[in-house]
Structure formats: structure tokens, C-alpha cells
Structure 1
Amino acid sequence: MHKLHISTQFDSGAIDVVRLERADDIQLRIRKDSAADFAQWFHFCLHGAAFQPVTLRFLNASESAYPKGWDGYQVVASYDRQEWTRIDTQFDGTEMTARLTPMAQAVYFAYFEPYSYEQHLDLLASAATSPWVTQQRLGSTVQGRDMTLLRITDEAGNTPPEQKRKVWMIARQHPGETMAEWFVEGFLERLLDADDAVARVLRDRCVFYVVPHMNPDGAVLGNLRTNAAGANLNREWAAPTAERSPEVLLVRQAMLDIGVDLNLDVHGDEGLPYNFVVGSEGTPGYSPRVAALEDAFKAAWAASCPDFQDRVNYGKTAPGQANMTLATHWIAQRFGCMAFTVEMPFKDNADLPDPLVGWSGERSKKLGASVLQPLLQWSA
């Protein structure tokens, strides 16, 4: 019989092992972020349990950052790190239990389908081969990784440069929300498709500025919400610093230098099993013009993509009550533009559930591709 072992020494690996004597009673604790108290992300490999009924007990699930996120949630598992499926999972209000009988000696488990730093670099390299893409290094993260911006447009198009709309997309401010970079991958694949008519028109009308990964350090470290310095980047936009949040400082300065006509900040939500957006209502500059733009954008997206909806969301922020440290609120106020936080589920889309995979990387890619349709209507 193979000896049981759990490994986490790989990109985004994170779990604390309490007890590993029997496959049917593996006791674990969800680890906190490396420099902060958020505990929700996990990613590990179990060795030596092939053909044995495995029970994983997450003992501190109720003490995690978002305990309601475990209600209706299912752990994802994979043998090849390519295909991830959901497994039987229950939460009793105190601990979360997941069960599987592995068909191989090594099986990976994660909170959501991972998106590794190597995948991130591959995404940048692939996009940079396009004639419509210019890759720019903005600077360094806390740990010295590159902060990269992709500029995308058709310079030979019919729209004069000064008339082109400036569209920004940023993703993974919270590094454990890996669905956000899957979303960007799908968006880029479609936007750079030479045969896609919608993409062709958008490349002519707009200049896109895309930051696929705002928090590379936090992702590699296996954090849910924070960077290497312990900063929640989506609470740093009012006053970022080079020491604590250089990632925000660099991107924010690029926005100030270039300008913004629309921004999409892509995230994942632990609790709600739906895809939705959050606008900038509650900011001092919110106006009927911006509200009308938001309504039209949401209606166009919902009409063209059944995976998107606007019935279930966080609700409206009261006038003057917006948290101005958030990217969406700071950007909307500073540039007087439409800005959205895009939220996708860690669970599944309750409107179109898939019991095998739940919400997934591939479905996130499809949603990312679908946002070109409302962008087309907005840019007209």
C-alpha cells in the first residue's frame, strides 16, 4: 500500500494538514493568506490513495473568510490538472466534507480550477504574436514579477485615433478568483480572432487596455485576496503606495496617463451562484447618463448571453455611500465613465447548472468572449 502524502509545493498550493493516517479521515485546515487573515483558497495534491474511499474534512470551514460560500459549494478535483470536475461535498455549518474514490495515485483538489503563473505567461506570449497587440511592462510587483499591459487596436482601421474609445479590463485583483483570468483568456481569444466580425469592428472603434493579472505574487503564494504585502488590492485605489500596493499604483498611473471610457474589473464571488455586474451607483459623480449607459450595457449582455443576468446581485449602493477605495468606484468617479465589477461564481450558475463541472474555467472563457456583444452596442 502506498503511503498517504499531501503536497502543496507548487504554484498556488495551499493547505494545512492536521491528520493524514487514514484515507477515510483526512483532516485539514484551510490556510490563511501569506500575510493576511483571509482563509478560503486551497489547492493541494493527495498521493497514495488510489481506489480507496477518501474523505477530506476541512475542519475550520466555518472560520473562513466567507463561510456562506460553502453552502451549495462543491470541491473541484483533477488527475491531469487539465480537466476538473466537481465532487461530493457537504457543509454542516462547522466543517466541510468532500468525498472521492480516486482512480489514480495522485489527485489534485482546489477551491476553483487554477490558472497558474505559467498559464499567465503563455497567455501574454500568445496574445503578443497578434499584429493588433502591443505588450508593455508597467513595472514590478512586490516580489519583482512583471506587471504587464496589453494594448489592442487596429491601427489601420477607419476610425481616427483621437476618436477611438479607451476600454480597460483588469482581472485577478483577488488572486484566488482564478475564473477572472479564464474570462480574460476567452475575451482575448475572440477579440484577436481575424474572422470574428464583432471583434473586427471593435478593434476599429476602440483601443483596449488589458491587464490579465493584477496580482501575480498573491496567486503564486496561494492567496485568496491579497498580494505579497498583505494588501487587498481592491481596497487600495484611493491611495496606493509603491511599498504596499505597487500593482495598483502602476495600473492607476497608466489609466491617468491614457484615460478611460469604460472599465471592466473581473472578479469571482464566493456566495452567489450567478454571473452579474456591480456598477458605480453611490459615487458622488453618478448621474442619469451613467445609469442609462449601465442599464443598456446590462440589457445587451443579458439578451445575447443566457449565462449573464441582472436579477440577483449585491443590490444598489445608496447615494454618497460608495467605498472609494474600490477600483470600480475610483475609476468611475475620476473619469466620469461607466465602470463595472464583473462577478462570477465559485459554485455554479443556478440558472444553467452543470452538475459535472459547475462554473468552470471554460465557461468563464465563454462568458469573457460574450462581453464583446454589449461592447459593440456601447461603442456604436
Structure 2
Amino acid sequence: MKINSLFDSGNIEVVSTDDTSNITLNIPADSNSEFKQWFHFKAHGEVGKEYGFEILNAKDCSYVDGWENYQAVASYDRQYWFRVETEFTADKTLKFKHQFEQATVYFSYFEPYSYERHQNLIQVAQLSEDCEHRIIGETVDGRDMDLLVIGNESKERKIWITARQHPGETMAEWCAEGLIERLLDPTDALSRSLLEKAVFYVVPNMNVDGSYRGNLRSNAAGANLNREWQNPSLEKSPEVYHVRQAMQQTGVDAYLDLHGDEALPYVFVAGTEGVPSYSSKVKELEDEFKSILMSVNPDFQDKFGYDKDEPGKANLTVANAWVGEEFNCLSYTLEMPFKDNANLPNSETGWSGERSYVLGQTLLNPIYQLIDKLR
């Protein structure tokens, strides 16, 4: 058995492969940070043989609740990812096993979204006459901060979408891809109508360094970007600094920040109830947004989610809270599961990149319905 993680978003530490019936592993921490949970590696073994893998430090990972009822994902072609039998044991290790149908299998915490795919998304999107690609700054490692401006900036309403502040939450960029591709579809009447009234500013990956390094939650400097919005710096969190600066130049009428949640097996949103400027108008927009999204995509629900902040108690270092307060607008964090959607389970794939992509497409429906009410 040979295991390798020296590739884009790879992350694993091999403890022992001596016992081929049970290969032991650890998950390394994020760059300059104590967060850990993301793993991604390839295993080369014997066709037809069943191998077991055990992550010894699962109990020390950042979100231990995330291992309950969790199933790891695997792929032979790095295109189709399926779930494999996984157990969080009584002694708090994570075990999964798989009988190899081919010699090499990739395993991951969730379906990856590669830096190569990210660059392809940007390059293809800019071919549309409705899209302009802008580089608004550099990351800690010197990678480009990519912004897609979709539509005419003379339009009154400004819609901002950011994704993947936490790099291991790859479902966020799958979701952003679905939204972008629908928005740029010249045959989609809803998208065409939206662009008659609004311009979209989309950052498909806020944390390209962390994504490439195989981090769960941090950028290259070890910063949790979704706790940097009140006072970002060029040294520690340039990604937030540059996006925030661009927002202040354009203004924001509605904002969606796309994420994944390790523990909760649902799709849900978190609003801005706790910000000082929260108003009845924003509440009405939030309620309508949820109602419309539930009507067009049953993967979304509003029963399970985070506890609502008390009035005036919001954490303004978090993106949706800072944006909601700064611009007094509809501002949501959208969360997707790493596990499966418990309301609509799929035993073969669980929650997946494809389902995230479709959710991204349907996010345009509530925006379309609310576009005239945003100002």
C-alpha cells in the first residue's frame, strides 16, 4: 500500500501501512493554525482487496461532532465521488473501508474543488460578454484574488456573492459555480431578467491559498477569514481586506456568503438578527428569501440551523454580520452539509458537488423575486 497527498488540496499524515488490513493515519493541522479536519489523499493497492483506514486523531479534530453519522468520499476518476462505509468508533477514531476495484483510489473529507477547476471557471466565465474578470489583490502566498463582475455596473442594485472563506468547505465553490453558470446562460430568462436590473459581484474562492494547501478553515497565515471582517490586514488577511474594499466602492444591496457545516446535516441560512441596524424591512426580506428558496429547492429548510443572535449581540467580525450592518441590507450566510441532507438522503453520494451546484442555480430565484424590494 502506497499513500500520497502531495497534490492540490492533499492533506494526510501516514502513521503506518505495515498492517494492510488497517492503515493508520493522522490529519495534519492547517497552515500556521490549530484547525484540522480536512483530509485528501490517494491510495495505491491491490485490485480486489478490501483495505481499512483509521484516522487516529479524529477525536482531536476541530469539529468532533462532524464525525457522527459521517461517511468519507472516494473516487477512481476524480470526477464521480461516492460514499464509503465509515464509523466513528467508541475509542474516538474514524475508520472507513473499501474494496479496491482499481489499483488507485482517492479519498477525501468532501468532494474536492481543485485550484485548476477554479482557474477554468474564471477563464470560461470571462468569455461571456456579460462578465468581466478582475484581479482585486493578492493572497498571502501571492495568488490572485479573482472577482467576476456579471452584468452592467450602471444597474442600480448590487448583489455580492462570496464563497469558500473556509477552504475545506468545497461545496461552497461548487455552489458558486452553479450560480455563475446559470447567471451567464443566455437562454435562461430569469438570468436575463435579473441582469436587466442588477449587477453581480462574485468571488468564487475567498481562500485559494488554504484551498491549495489542504486547509480546513485557515488561510496561509493561519487566519480564519470569517473572523477578520471588522479589521482585516494586508499581512494577516489580505483576502478579506481586498474584498471589503471593493464592496465599499460598489455598495451592497444583498449579500450571500457560501459555506459548509461539519456537524449539521441540513441546508440552512444564518441572518443578521443581532446587528444594531437590523430592521423590520430586513426581516421581511429574510423571511421571503427563505420561503421562495424552499418552494424551488426542497434541499433547503428552515427548521434546523444556528441559534439566532440576540439584538445587538452579533459578532461583527463575521462576514454576513459586518456586511449587514455596514450596508443595512439582506445579508445571509448559507450553510451546506459535509454529511448528507437528512431530509432528502442519498446513500450513494450524500450531499455532493452536484447538489451544491444545483442549489447555486436556484439561489437566483429568491434574488429575482426580491430584486425590486432591495432598495
Counterpart AA for 1:139: G
SS across alignment from 1:24:
coil
Whether the aligned pair in 2 keeps the contact of 1:172 and 1:266 (CA below 8 Å) is yes
Q: Does 1:292 find its partner at 2:284?
A: yes
Separation (CA, whole Å) in 2 of partners of 1:63 and 1:284: 37
Q: Does 1:138 find its partner at 2:130?
A: no
Whether the aligned pair in 2 keeps the contact of 1:39 and 1:65 (CA below 8 Å) is yes
Question: How do 1:167-178 residues align onto structure 2 when only pairs under 5 Å count?
Answer: 167-178=159-170
- 74, 77, 88: which one pairs with 1:77? 74
- 347, 355, 365: which one pairs with 1:373? 365
> Which residue of structure 1 aligns with residue 53 of structure 2?
56
> Which residue of structure 2 aligns with residue 9 of structure 1?
6
Separation (CA, whole Å) in 1 of partners of 2:20 and 2:120: 36
Distance apart, 1:189 and its partner CA: 1.1
> Which residue of structure 1 aligns with residue 106 of structure 2?
108
Separation (CA, whole Å) in 1 of partners of 2:35 and 2:74: 23
Separation (CA, whole Å) in 1 of partners of 2:34 and 2:294: 36
Distance apart, 1:192 and its partner CA: 0.7
Any idea what the Cα deviations from partners look like across 1:129-155, whole Å, max 9, x if unmatched? 000001111011000000011111157
SS across alignment from 1:72:
coil
Distance apart, 1:22 and its partner CA: 2.6
Question: How do 1:163-242 residues align onto structure 2 when only pairs under 5 Å count?
Answer: 164-242=156-234
Separation (CA, whole Å) in 2 of partners of 1:95 and 1:316: 33
Counterpart AA for 2:130: W
SS across alignment from 1:364:
helix
Separation (CA, whole Å) in 2 of partners of 1:141 and 1:328: 21
Distance apart, 1:104 and its partner CA: 1.1
> Which residue of structure 2 aligns with residue 25 of structure 1?
22
Any idea what the Cα deviations from partners look like across 1:269-291, whole Å, max 9, x if unmatched? 00111101100111111111111
| Structure 1 stretches of 4+ moved >6 Å | none
Distance apart, 1:315 and its partner CA: 2.1
Distance apart, 1:62 and its partner CA: 1.1
Whether the aligned pair in 2 keeps the contact of 1:23 and 1:53 (CA below 8 Å) is no
Question: How do 1:269-348 residues align onto structure 2 when only pairs under 5 Å count?
Answer: 269-348=261-340
Whether the aligned pair in 2 keeps the contact of 1:23 and 1:49 (CA below 8 Å) is no
SS across alignment from 1:239:
coil
> Which residue of structure 2 aligns with residue 363 of structure 1?
355
Counterpart AA for 2:329: C
Whether the aligned pair in 2 keeps the contact of 1:55 and 1:100 (CA below 8 Å) is yes
Distance apart, 1:304 and its partner CA: 1.2
State the superposition RMSD in angstroms.
0.9
Deviates more, 1:331-340 or 1:14-23: 14-23
Separation (CA, whole Å) in 1 of partners of 2:152 and 2:255: 20
> Which residue of structure 1 aligns with residue 115 of structure 2?
117
Distance apart, 1:31 and its partner CA: 1.3
Any idea what the Cα deviations from partners look like across 1:350-372, whole Å, max 9, x if unmatched? 11110000000011000000111
Distance apart, 1:374 and its partner CA: 0.5
Separation (CA, whole Å) in 2 of partners of 1:168 and 1:154: 14
Q: Which runs of 5+ in 1 are unaligned?
A: 156-160
Deviates more, 1:110-119 or 1:308-317: 308-317
Whether the aligned pair in 1 keeps the contact of 2:218 and 2:224 (CA below 8 Å) is yes
Counterpart AA for 2:106: Y
Identity of counterpart residues, as a percentage?
52
TM-score, normalisation: structure 1: 0.96
Q: Which runs of 5+ in 2 are unaligned?
A: none
Counterpart AA for 1:115: Y
Number of residues of Structure 1 aligned to a counterpart in Structure 2: 371
- 240, 243, 259: which one pairs with 2:235? 243
Q: Does 1:40 find its partner at 2:37?
A: yes
> Which residue of structure 2 aligns with residue 158 of structure 1?
none
SS across alignment from 2:196:
helix
Deviates more, 1:314-323 or 1:237-246: 314-323
